Amino acid sequence: MIFITVGSQKFQFNRLLREIDKLIDEKKITDEIIAQVGVSDYVPRNYEHYDFLTKEQFNNYITKSELVITHAGTGVIITALKQNKKVIAIPRLTKYEEHVDNHQIQLIDEFKSLNLIEPVYQIKDLENAIKNVNEKKYNKYISNTETILDDIKKFIG
């Protein structure tokens, strides 16, 4: 199963949702798809979708998925990586009115440099990313949350 999430901010991500429908129409995607579409006004034709999910539902879909396709939000990427999921991330871009700036490009650049995700900079490249993601070996995500918390505790005394 592929889980798609576009986040819960006030911005649409129609570009991604349309591309998924196109790839399903072309039989390039045959897996079951579940999507959280947020405030996007594009209505998917070929896959199950929800505007928003509870945290429990969201985590359940991540757990069940083999692949997570997402906007380049740090929270969802790390959540998926902590569960050892393959992640394809696409940055939201201002030119498509998907965000207020293009900071998500820098976020996926950083995750890419650590070899943790498969970045997609151009939506037309999503098909190849889906084909290649299972053949590619990614680094395992190692959380440093405990180290940071220990440092804070030492600092506070």
The CATH number assigned to the domain holding 49 equals 3.40.50.2000
The residue among 95 and 11 whose pLDDT is bigger is 11
Q: Rounded to an integer, what distance in angstroms lies between the CA atom of residue 147 and that of residue 109?
A: 24
Answer yes or no: is pLDDT of 136 > 60: yes
The residue among 66 and 152 whose pLDDT is bigger is 66
For residue 14, give Cα distances in angstroms to 97, 112, 113.
Answer: 10, 24, 27
Average pLDDT over residues 12-35: 97
In the block, which residue shows the tokens 């991500």? 13
Give the pLDDT confidence score for residue 155 in this predicted structure.
64
pTM above 0.85, yes or no: yes
Question: Do 47 and 35 touch, CB atoms closer than 8 A?
Answer: yes
Tens-digit pLDDT profile for residues 55-88 = 999 999 999 999 999 998 889 999 999 999 999 9
Answer yes or no: is pLDDT of 148 > 60: no
What's the number of domains the chain is made of? Answer: 1
Give every CB contact of residue 154 below 8 A, 6+ residues apart in sequence.
none
135-139 contacts, C-beta under 8 A, 24 or more apart: 138/86, 139/114, 139/115
Question: Do 104 and 120 touch, CB atoms closer than 8 A?
Answer: no
**Interaxial angle between packed helices 103-113 and 74-82, expressed in degrees from 0 to 180 and rounded to the nearest 10:** 20
Question: Confidence class of residue 34 from pLDDT cuts 50, 70 and 90?
Answer: very high
Least confident piece of the model among 7-16, 27-36, 110-119: 7-16
Phi, psi of 13 (to 5 degrees): -140, 50
Mean pLDDT of the chain, nearest integer: 91
Q: Rounded to an integer, what distance in angstroms lies between the CA atom of residue 88 and that of residue 68?
A: 6
Q: Which domain holds residue 36?
A: 2-156
